[in-house]
Structure 1
């Protein structure tokens, strides 16, 4: 089978992890172009990775040999780029979040669906071995009836992080800690427990940061089955703590912390999974983790295109997280 030809659009913070993952999978996939409008970014990328760079975005969409595009640009640019991919019939791997508003995010999912192209999301924590094991436990019913499902995202970002132009603004990012950092753990929580309802919330911008959007959130909610939950999300927790998801059921408890799962059941059995030394993005360097999860995500994307395998994280999945975030912000108002 011929290699899948792809292009990267955007050579910012996330590009290195994607480039390393693509090179790891070079027996199945070939990145034929990496675009940035900025010459210095193209030069820096080309000096580190053996991938052709370009400043010609139109050429990527015109090239019929390119079957898929990785969109790694700021959120405010996503809808228009997805629409161009959809028109050109190119499959899409999109960096989170979908876009800066729920309406634009819905339009992205609709554009891909109407064009009949795949839309996969870069919510790579779904591919942690501990997350895969917890998903298996929940689906098998080993926890019994879920009675509580809660999450904590306690990251640290110094003020210098928000001093980068556009970061933490509504115009570029669409929000703060929920949409930019928290969405990874929120996506996981919802994949295990379903969509919350009856949301109450406190949302703040703390004295630690000078920024437009929120850096401190606490929410409470219920689920369709009657279970309750809480969410705490912040970028104020120096020096950054591992994200945590806790599930309490009638037959056991599971705690997913960083890359490790510990589960204990009322029948006396236990399960431990993960704990890989893959790093964390909880501290001042948001990219301080390995590219292994990106590799697994991109491999799933290739399998979906070539073999019809189900995508592990779809645009519809991301839309559920966006809807919950919108409900938290609305409840706080």
Structure 2
């Protein structure tokens, strides 16, 4: 099936997809769920074999040239699902072509590239949404509401734990676990989702102290074990414990202790216990959701929510819930943690 064989349909936004690797599956399912709102003009990969496999699996049209998407005047947005080291360049090309972009995390493999991607879209007056789907979990949304309305009181202490497992087959894939392609290890590639949810709940700290290391389990040039301590302006302290060396992989956790009680997020399950005796439970069952050997072992529902919010933002002329500027916050936290580890000293986080 080719893009040219499908005429435009009225009242649906036409989009293209660039990148048909592992990350494309939840997006393809989300596009199918939202078929009443969106029309896929074409999906591109430089690999003919990958295009054929993707089209056969998901029934979506493919194109063999990226220009077939960027030069299509009826196409208003592009989903960019390629490896991190390609993001800044592809976003710049989309911006030059006048296309809005929904970008898989991270913004780019380098700090400079991340900022360049955001700037390119802002200067073009276009919308950049970033796929950091944990903020769309019902448990995270409920906890955010409880913090906004003061139910937990003032936060005093917090902890993040992402104790996941990735096996030898995962790191055997070309470029996986390399700084050149991925830009980083457990922080930028795996824990970024949980860290982004954490930043969405509590904001950025003022100072970070940290250690980051590569375990002897695999031959990679990025970190897979991290321990960090954070200090906030109001005196709150927090810790981050992140690794892909914890077999067989456990549900990621965010814990917050406040003056009125405590909250624990484990996977997509929220449990809140208040000093008043009230007990609040929300979300799902707290399973690992991709924390084990299979990184894609999760529902696509949160990806669908990200895509739906992106479409709503375009229709309503507003910012997506996680746009480029918002995504820069978690990038700044990760940069500060790695800088603190490299320099052996506390680092001021500063503005993203």
> Hey, what's the Cα distance between the residues in 2 that align with 1:55 and 1:6?
16
Q: Does 1:191 align with 2:191?
A: no
Alignment-derived partner of residue 223 in structure 2: 214
Q: Mapping of 1:10-159 within 5 angstroms?
A: 10-159=19-168
> Hey, what's the Cα distance between the residues in 2 that align with 1:125 and 1:103?
25
> Hey, what's the Cα distance between the residues in 1 that align with 2:228 and 2:156?
17
1:10-50 deviation per Cα after TM superposition (whole angstroms, max 9, x unaligned): 00001111011001100011111000000110010011112
Residue 197 of structure 1, CA deviation: 2.4
Residue 55 of structure 1, CA deviation: 1.2
1:152-182 deviation per Cα after TM superposition (whole angstroms, max 9, x unaligned): 0011001221111111111100010000001
Q: Mapping of 1:151-190 within 5 angstroms?
A: 151-190=160-199
Q: Is the 8 A contact 2:138 2:282 kept in 1?
A: yes
Q: Is the 8 A contact 2:263 2:270 kept in 1?
A: yes
1:273-311 deviation per Cα after TM superposition (whole angstroms, max 9, x unaligned): 011588611000100011111111111111000123541
Q: Is the 8 A contact 1:156 1:240 kept in 2?
A: yes
Secondary structure class of the residue paired with 2:180: coil
Q: Does 1:283 align with 2:265?
A: no
1:242-271 deviation per Cα after TM superposition (whole angstroms, max 9, x unaligned): 000001111111111001000111222121
Unaligned stretches of 5+ residues in structure 2: 1-9, 343-352
Q: Is the 8 A contact 2:267 2:287 kept in 1?
A: no
- One of 286, 305, 313 as aligned partner of 2:322: 313
Q: Is the 8 A contact 2:79 2:103 kept in 1?
A: yes
CA 309–273 in structure 1, closer or farther in 2 if over 3 Å, else same: farther
Secondary structure class of the residue paired with 2:206: strand
Secondary structure class of the residue paired with 2:310: helix
> Hey, what's the Cα distance between the residues in 1 that align with 2:325 and 2:202?
16
- One of 282, 301, 320 as aligned partner of 1:273: 282
Q: Is the 8 A contact 2:159 2:256 kept in 1?
A: yes
Alignment-derived partner of residue 244 in structure 2: 235
Q: Is the 8 A contact 1:300 1:309 kept in 2?
A: no
Unaligned stretches of 5+ residues in structure 1: none
Q: Does 1:296 align with 2:305?
A: yes
Secondary structure class of the residue paired with 1:217: strand
User: Which segments of structure 1 move beyond 6 Å, counting only runs of 4 or more?
Assistant: none
Q: Is the 8 A contact 2:257 2:263 kept in 1?
A: yes
> Hey, what's the Cα distance between the residues in 2 that align with 1:122 and 1:162?
23
With the length of structure 1 as denominator, give the TM-score of the two structures. Answer: 0.98
1:114-160 deviation per Cα after TM superposition (whole angstroms, max 9, x unaligned): 11111111111111110110111111111111111220001100122
Secondary structure class of the residue paired with 1:298: helix
Secondary structure class of the residue paired with 1:282: coil
With the length of structure 2 as denominator, give the TM-score of the two structures. Answer: 0.92
> Hey, what's the Cα distance between the residues in 2 that align with 1:276 and 1:125?
15
